[in-house]
Amino acid sequence: MIVSVASGKGGTGKTTLAVNLAAALGRKAQLLDCDVEEPNAHLFLRPEISHSRKVGTPVPLVDADRCTLCRKCAEICRFNAIAVAGRQVLVFADLCHGCGGCTLVCPEQAIAEVDRELGAIDFGTCAGPDYVGGRLRVGEAMAPPLIKQVRAAADPRRITVVDAPPGTSCPVIAAMHGADFVLLVTEPTPFGLHDLRLAVEAVRLLGIPAGLAVNRADLGDDAVFAYAEQQGLPLLMRIPFDRAIAEAYSRGQLLVDADPCWRGQFQALYRAIETLVRQGGAVPCANS
């Protein structure tokens, strides 16, 4: 089972849901922190990092002596990562998506591939779930290849909880792709509703069953709940606006440890997700 915890905007409590769900499941679970630009799940799980691995992406290296300036490499690149200027081939490594198309079409075999470092993946253990987290290199813009590597490091024998990046752009799609279920997290505010709509559209495109968790559920208005009902999006958890919860969060303490009653609630949340997946529920985001 792969459960991706996502949100249309930052600050809704996505990581809170992800780490507590994984902790409530204990040793049979693993947490993948795919929010590689701002990873923070480790602050709550406090894993002992056993090892790290650098991750790179292939970029072209042009042999000027063999190149005939035919421009086929530049014509195939949809991201303008390689260009011919006068008698010179220019490579813009930061724009390269590592597809390898330029190496395939070069008639002179003048293009080889070298690795460009994207970041690193940390592997760790703690009292509960195993931990795998990605760290994007400072200044790097290409998050999806690193997220895919974090996803590939998952242990298929365990329940996988993915802490996805916020938003609805390419990194989020990479974190949600191939999941069995997406748990969308939002807050009952106009901003929360606006970005929930965007997240629902993304899940609809991927065709993945989804459910909703509402954080700070007793604030704001009822528009989020009305939208969820309209879309057939099952409401699986409400977390109240509570000072004790905020204090635990500020200390980096798991909610399931600060108040043991929450452990049972997160375990019940997983059972509800498991039931929805087992029943083969349709994507709960049908057009209204």
What CATH number is associated with residue 44? 3.40.50.300
For residue 281, the model assigns a pLDDT of: 55
Distance between CA 145 and CA 147 in Å, rounded?
A: 5
Domain residues for the domain of 69 are 64-109
For residue 279, the model assigns a pLDDT of: 83
155-211 tens-digit pLDDT = 999 999 999 999 999 999 999 999 999 999 999 999 999 999 999 999 999 999 999
Among 37, 1, 5, smallest CA distance to 210 is for 5
Beta bridge partners of 49: 124
**What pTM was estimated for this model as a whole?**
0.88
Residue 22 lies in a domain: yes
For residue 127, the model assigns a pLDDT of: 86
Going from the C-alpha of 101 to that of each of 55, 72, 98, 263, the distances in angstroms are: 21, 10, 8, 49
For residue 283, the model assigns a pLDDT of: 52
Tell me the residue type at 55.
V
Question: Do both 164 and 81 map to the same domain?
Answer: no
Residue 114 lies in a domain: no
Question: Do both 97 and 140 map to the same domain?
Answer: no
Residues of the chain with pLDDT under 70: 281-288
Instruction: Name the 3-class secondary structure at 271.
Output: helix
Question: Do both 265 and 191 map to the same domain?
Answer: yes
Question: Do both 79 and 171 map to the same domain?
Answer: no
Q: What is the CATH number of the domain that holds 92?
A: 3.30.70.20
Total domains present in the chain: 2
C-beta separation of 186 from 193 below 8 A: yes
Residue 42 lies in a domain: yes
**Helix or strand holding residue 255 (H, E):** helix 255-258
Residue 35 lies in a domain: yes
Question: Do both 132 and 198 map to the same domain?
Answer: yes
Handedness of CA 210, 38, 257, 188 (dihedral sign): negative
Tell me 83's DSSP state: E
Indicate the burial class of 151 (C-beta count within 10 angstroms; 0-12, 13-18, 19 or more): buried
Question: Do both 42 and 131 map to the same domain?
Answer: yes
Residue 284 lies in a domain: no
Residue 286 lies in a domain: no
For residue 33, the model assigns a pLDDT of: 98
Residue 186 lies in a domain: yes
For residue 18, the model assigns a pLDDT of: 97
Question: Do both 205 and 184 map to the same domain?
Answer: yes
Question: Do both 86 and 145 map to the same domain?
Answer: no
For residue 288, the model assigns a pLDDT of: 37
Question: Do both 187 and 86 map to the same domain?
Answer: no
Give start and end residues of each alpha helix (H) in 141-234. Answer: 144-152, 170-176, 190-206, 223-231
Question: Do both 23 and 104 map to the same domain?
Answer: no
Question: Do both 179 and 206 map to the same domain?
Answer: yes
Q: At what angle do helices 190-206 and 223-231 cross, to 10 degrees?
A: 20
Question: Do both 95 and 192 map to the same domain?
Answer: no
Residue 283 lies in a domain: no
Distance between CA 125 and CA 47 in Å, rounded?
A: 5
For residue 196, the model assigns a pLDDT of: 95
For residue 159, the model assigns a pLDDT of: 97
For residue 197, the model assigns a pLDDT of: 95
